[in-house]
Amino acid sequence: MIEVQDLRKAYGARRAVDGVTFSVEEGEIFGILGPNGAGKTTTVECVAGLRAPDTGRIRVAGLDPVADHDRVTRLLGVQLQRSELQARLTVREALDLYASFYEHPADHRALAGRLGLDAHLDVQFAKLSGGQKQRLFIALALIGDPRAVILDELTTGLDPRARRDTWTLVEDVRASGVTVLLVTHVMEEAQRLCDRIAVIDRGRVTALDTPAGLIDRTTTARTISFAADTPLDRADLDALPGTTAVTARDGRTVVTGTDATVDAFVRLLARRAVTARGLRITDTTLDDAYLDLTS
């Protein structure tokens, strides 16, 4: 659905995007992660045809976003990182206005119901909550009945409940057959939603894989924390494969190691018939992988 090959874009002497290459398959949620200033937004703005690349090749369903801009805008919806509407414009008016831009728009009444906006159709934009505004921007990105949609930092500033509701909406969008290109800083969001992720740092793709694949690359250790009625021998814990440290504090023992350490630790508990109280095992997360990949 989307192809980006050796994309480069500079602003004066600063090279914002320096040879980015990736492709997005039809029907997937493809994530882009990276630090502030890494080139994420410039990349998706080039994909949307809002900026012209200096060099490189971009295709959206086989079309050039610059040369075929009118045709691309009819099959690609965009929710920008920073979006605003006129304060007194109502939800109904915004949907009617944007629907008028397309020859064959989606049914905006059904779209409003699907996104939970049907009870707010006559509410002015300025009086909407943050979550309601984001729902409206998603609706406006989908009003043209696109085959693909770009969502750039759509949950920034939302409270946890509104963020999770928005995630469900994105999953529903994909389930309807729309391809999603998602730019985010929220690791939990990327780990839950994305089929594949490109990590962009200093204008280049430093890794591209599934969330699980990125996590498998990290060198971050696993941590086991527990208290036991029957103490385990320190030598047995030190001998667990992959163990890098064993410490004791406030009646709890902490073992640092790898996945192999966790597996061997569980077997050790079973052999010794020891019950570990308050057992906690920290999983390696996409946060850990991201820090490794952008360190």
pLDDT tens-digit series, residues 223-246: 899 998 778 888 999 999 988 889
Question: Of all residues in the chain, what percent carry a pLDDT higher than 70?
Answer: 98
| C-beta of residue 95 within 8 angstroms of C-beta of residue 143 | yes
Mean pLDDT of 140-161: 87
CB proximity list for 198: less than 8 A, separation 6 or greater: 20, 22, 30, 31, 32, 33, 205, 207, 208
pLDDT at 61 over 90: yes
Structure tokens at 202: 């200093």
Q: What is the pLDDT of residue 40?
A: 93
Give the pLDDT band (50/70/90) at residue 23: very high
CA distance 76 to 66: 13
CA distances from 111 to 31, 96, 140, 141, 150 (A): 24, 12, 9, 11, 17
| C-beta of residue 189 within 8 angstroms of C-beta of residue 163 | yes
Mean pLDDT of 189-211: 94
Mean pLDDT of 146-170: 85
Q: What is the pLDDT of residue 86?
A: 94
Give the pLDDT band (50/70/90) at residue 80: confident
Q: Helix or strand or coil: residue 145? A: coil
pLDDT at 21 over 90: yes
56 versus 37: the higher-pLDDT residue is 56
Q: What is the pLDDT of residue 220?
A: 66
CA distance 196 to 95: 32
Mean pLDDT of 95-103: 92
Q: What is the pLDDT of residue 218?
A: 74
CA distances from 273 to 253, 262, 277 (A): 17, 16, 13
pTM of this structure:
0.80
Q: What is the pLDDT of residue 219?
A: 64
Give the pLDDT band (50/70/90) at residue 178: very high
**Bridge pairing between strands 179-183 and 252-257:** unpaired
